[in-house]
Amino acid sequence: MAIPRLSSLLRWRKLAKSDWLVASIGFVLFVFLLSFFFDPTSDSVPSVDRSPPIASPPDLVKLTLSSKAKERGAFCLDGSLPGYHFHKGSGSGSKSWLLHLEGGGWCSSIASCSARAMTMLGSSTYFEDEVDFQGVLSSDPSLNPEFFNWNRVKIRYCDGASFAGRPEAEFKNGTRLFFRGQLIWETIMDELLSMGMSDAKQGILTGCSAGGLATLIHCDYFRDHLPKDAAVKCVSDGGFFLNVPDVLGHPTMRSFYHNVVNLQGVEKSLDHNCVAKPEPSTCMFPQKFLNNIRTPVFLVNPAYDFWQIQHVLVPASPNLDKSWAKCRLNIKECDAAQMKVLHGFRSSMMDAIGKFHQNKAGGMFIDSCYSHCQTLMSATWHSPTSTRIENKTIAESVGDWYFNRKPVKLIDCPYPCNPSCYNLNFT
């Protein structure tokens, strides 16, 4: 059955102001619900543990299907054309470009990729005609003070391998699946370069979740294709996935990435120094290649990332202790023993970014919220009630780092110390 266009479902223009933020949260989570690796028991839009601020009117930007994709063979999983949403910059931002790579999980088998190909995460047939630009994409200077007038682009995700799949991995037995993520990335980059990005003075590549991982994978490619004198940096949001065993001792995420890499031929898109070593699929984990990236990188990540807790640390399983059922969906339901495990997960993240912490060009904002993807919504990116560390919002922190005003290495104290967090509740 076809999935209706989300713009029709949400009917943005008819929403009251108090509903816009709730709808935007619903959109972000709708994308996650469609991804293969999302918990099927979480069938409702989550709530937040404190009242969100009044959101600004929607900033709707039209979809453009790539004009170069067909001739390049850059197709979504189902063979449809990939696309993006482009908001032209103005004034002081006319020579500055910010590209956002959409996220939404991965697919690791013929069955899961075939299912994904019938959603907006695998086919442009289901893309919305317009999307709301919020957070780092917003054109409102009060909500996006540093980048509001830049050229801003949201690149849609329809390949299932963090824009890194390769066509040589496709099946030749009539299976109609296209593994063209790398081609999609290169094709849309070429298109944007021809639209003025080749003259950029400033550039940022960013992305959320699987798009945050893609940001790290393609960061140096982005740098190398912009002018040498341009100030170019990368911001990964919720993309620092950990290679840790789950609570049952199983290597759930490592096995999953192994299947993604083998199915879609991702190996050639990963860090060459890393994949020269045994088991190339471990090079999907940023800890393995982050310090090899030449371009300055900023990490935005919650230490208690709800997606990773629900799918990496405590994935749904018939063998899982039922006491985890509520905890994994609402951090406030965790008992002392479970919190000890979650604090251990935070410690694993601190260990994984330990060497990067010494990188003078790098920056980070590691909060202690039960959240995921915090740059895309104004409530968490920059507003009077946004999440803060040392009284700085994520937007202020990224701005200080990007414009070299000061070093930014912000790491929050352990949960539940930060009252400014928007903690999601899936129960």
Q: What residues are labeled active site? A: 209, 305, 372
Residue 133, exposed/middle/buried by CB under 10 A (0-12, 13-18, 19+)? buried
Measured distance CA(61)–CA(17) in Å, rounded = 19
**CB contact set of 249 (below 8 Å; sequence gap of 6+):** none
Question: Is the distance from CB of 342 to CB of 304 less than 8 angstroms?
Answer: yes
Give Cα 380 to chain centroid, integer Å: 14
Residue labelled with tokens 């930014």: 408
| CA-wise closest residue to 69 among 49, 83, 53, 89 | 83
Per-residue burial over 146-166, b = 16 or more CB atoms within 10 Å of its CB, e = otherwise? bbbbbbbbbbbbbbbbbbbbb
Q: What are phi and psi of 180, to 5 degrees?
A: -120, 25
Please give the structure tokens belonging to residue 420: 């400014």
Distances, alpha carbon 61 to alpha carbons 85, 86, 130, 383, 397, in Å? 6, 7, 5, 22, 26
Residue labelled with tokens 């950029």: 200
Question: What amino acid occupies position 26?
Answer: G
Please give the structure tokens belonging to residue 359: 């990188």
Question: Is the distance from CB of 315 to CB of 36 less than 8 angstroms?
Answer: no
299 three-state secondary structure: strand
In terms of DSSP H, where are the helices of 279-335?
A: 286-289, 306-308, 324-327
165 three-state secondary structure: coil
**CB contact set of 66 (below 8 Å; sequence gap of 6+):** 74, 81, 82, 83, 84, 184, 187, 188, 191
394 three-state secondary structure: helix
Q: What are phi and psi of 299, to 5 degrees?
A: -105, 125
Per-residue burial over 187-215, b = 16 or more CB atoms within 10 Å of its CB, e = otherwise? bbbbbbeeeebeebbbbbbbbbbbbbbbb
